[in-house]
């Protein structure tokens, strides 16, 4: 067995290196740093930016707004003047900036127009009365209905940070900053490999590979499902050798337990270098993370929720970095008693009537068991558990009504 040279491997206990989640995160973060240092960067236009990952901070090239603008159709005035005011020429959105308001004067400004120099408020058209070409209106506080230049952001300000993924809303912000292209990491090519005779011969449906591919896609990767390796050592070695040459990284699914036909484990141990095998998380504890041919290989457990959890906690962190999930504190809807100690349990929940309803129990959309002990192995075998709104992490038993911190998916 070759130990990982890349990171701090934890020595195996009973053939399995089971690390706590904090240690797993540390290792993943180191792997990530190395991986992204070597990942090519390319300049892409904003048109192709959706779902791409920034390789550098985005600094605004302009102030926004560039000049004071009116946010109403109305009349630009100076609050130090008194009505009635004589009218000067109108100003529309798109007119040049730098126009001036005379003392004792008012100018019609359209929404989005630059407010003339000397004006410090806009009287809404609904509040304006024009008589004999003179404007009367109501008294206004300074800066009413004006957005000041640079109030949204200023030239040189950092708007988005390296490693963030471009979302529909951030596309809008990017355009507002005056930049026309961004530096993005090359799309990561990922080979996704299923394993197991029961998948190969169709006895069990391959729930995981398409889910894994879809998740990778939403994280800006280019996944490809290579196929299913049957329970055969030679084939396992040959496929792993090939894909670790052809792709930037590899995700395998299944065959990571201590069963008699879990060939992924022996293949990696013999030909690769283990970073860790097993983490103190349920569901999904047999997760195996390694390098093979110097490429990162994530070997997920085969139960759907275990695979999903490892994707969410570990692979997502590897690709996206320590990305903030929106968290909310909610009372849990049931007592929960965990079977064994020493694990962080990931409990998937639906949010209903302001409560976190654990999947698997009565009253949730997936009622697999009605006892009080949390049957993590049963729930992790259920594809239907993937409909969760979020999850919380817990180590100790919980009473109904106790608050938990739900990470929203």
Hey, which residues between 158 and 197 contact a second copy (CB under 8 A)?
Answer: 159, 167-178, 196-197
Determine the Cα–Cα distance for residues 239 and 236; give it in Å rounded to an integer: 5
Least distance to a second copy, CB of residue 383, Å:
4
Note whether 205 binds a second copy by CB under 8 A: yes
The answer to the question of residue 73 lying near a second copy (CB under 8 A) is: yes
On whether the CB atoms of residues 288 and 332 are closer than 8 A, the answer is no
- Kind and range of the H or E run holding 201: none
Q: What is the DSSP letter of 68?
A: -
Which member of 26, 42, 183, 217 binds a second copy (CB under 8 A)? 217
Binding mask 219-258 for a second copy (x = CB under 8 A): -----------xx----------------------x--xx
Chain residues 282-321 in contact with a second copy, contact rule CB under 8 A: 302-304, 308
Could you tell me the two tokens for 297?
């290989």
Residue from the set 118, 382, 393, 397 that interacts with a second copy by CB under 8 A: 382
Closest to 58 (Cα-Cα) out of 148, 184, 167, 219:
184
Helix (H, G, I), strand (E, B) or coil at 34: helix
Give the residue, chosen from 22, 43, 327, 399, that forms a contact with a second copy under the rule CB under 8 A: 327
Q: Which is nearer to a second copy, 40 or 172 (CB)?
A: 172
Residues 97-156 interacting with a second copy (rule: CB under 8 A): 97, 108, 110-114, 125, 145, 147, 151-153
Contact window for a second copy (CB under 8 A) among 5-13, 59-67, 98-106, 313-321: 59-67
The DSSP element (H or E) to which 49 belongs, if any, is: none
Minimum separation from the CB atom of position 261 to a second copy (A): 6
Give the single-character DSSP code of 161: -
Q: How far, in Å, CA of 363 to CA of 351, rounded?
A: 11
Tracing tokens 């909610």 back to the chain, one arrives at 330
* Cβ–Cβ under 8 Å, residues 122 and 143: no
Longest dimension (CA), the chain: 96
Shortest distance, position 15 Cβ to a second copy, whole Å: 12
Per-residue binding letters, 342-381, with a second copy (x by CB under 8 A)? ---------x--x-----------x-x--------xx-xx
Contact between 39 and a second copy per CB under 8 A: no
How does 18-37 read in b/e, with b if 16+ C-beta sit within 10 Å? bbebebbbebbeebbeebbe
Cα(177)–Cα(280) distance, integer angstroms: 44
* Contact set for a second copy, span 255-284 (CB under 8 A): 257-261
């Amino acid at each position: 067995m070759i130990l990982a040279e890349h990171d701090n491997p934890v020595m195996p206990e009973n053939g399995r290196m089971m690390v706590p989640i904090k240690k797993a995160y540390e290792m993943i973060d180191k792997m990530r740093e190395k991986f992204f240092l070597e990942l090519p960067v390319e300049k892409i236009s904003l048109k192709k930016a959706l779902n791409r990952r920034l390789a550098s901070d985005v600094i605004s090239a302009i102030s926004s707004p560039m000049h004071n603008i009116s946010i109403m159709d109305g009349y630009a005035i100076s609050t130090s003047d008194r009505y009635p005011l004589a009218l000067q020429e109108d100003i529309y959105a798109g007119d040049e900036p730098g126009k001036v308001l005379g003392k004792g004067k008012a100018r019609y400004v359209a929404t989005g127009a630059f407010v003339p120099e000397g004006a410090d408020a806009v009287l809404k058209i609904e509040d304006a009365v024009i008589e004999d070409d003179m404007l009367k209106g109501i008294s206004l506080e300074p800066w009413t209905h004006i957005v000041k230049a640079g109030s949204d952001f200023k030239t040189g300000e950092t708007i988005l940070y390296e490693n963030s993924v471009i979302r529909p809303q951030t596309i809008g912000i990017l355009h507002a900053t005056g930049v026309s292209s961004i530096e993005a990491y090359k799309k990561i090519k990922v080979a996704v490999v299923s394993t197991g005779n029961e998948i190969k011969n169709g006895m069990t449906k391959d729930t995981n590979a398409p889910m894994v591919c879809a998740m990778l896609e939403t994280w800006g990767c280019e996944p490809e499902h290579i196929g299913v390796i049957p329970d055969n050592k030679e084939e396992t070695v040959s496929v792993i050798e090939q894909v670790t040459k052809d792709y930037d990284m590899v995700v395998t699914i299944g065959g990571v337990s201590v069963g008699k036909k879990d060939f992924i484990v022996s293949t990696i141990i013999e030909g690769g270098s283990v970073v860790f095998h097993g983490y103190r998380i349920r569901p999904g504890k047999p997760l195996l993370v390694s390098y093979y041919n110097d490429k990162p290989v994530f070997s997920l457990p085969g139960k759907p929720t275990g695979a999903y959890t490892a994707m969410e906690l570990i692979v997502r962190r590897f690709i996206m970095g320590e990305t903030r999930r929106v968290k909310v504190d909610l009372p849990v809807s049931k007592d929960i008693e965990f079977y064994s100690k020493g694990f962080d349990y990931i409990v998937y929940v639906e949010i209903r009537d302001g409560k976190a309803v654990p999947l698997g129990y009565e009253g949730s959309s997936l009622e697999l068991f009605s006892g009080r002990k949390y049957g993590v192995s049963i729930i992790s075998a259920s594809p239907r558990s993937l409909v969760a709104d979020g999850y919380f992490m817990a180590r100790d038993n919980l009473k109904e009504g106790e608050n938990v911190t739900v990470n929203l998916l």
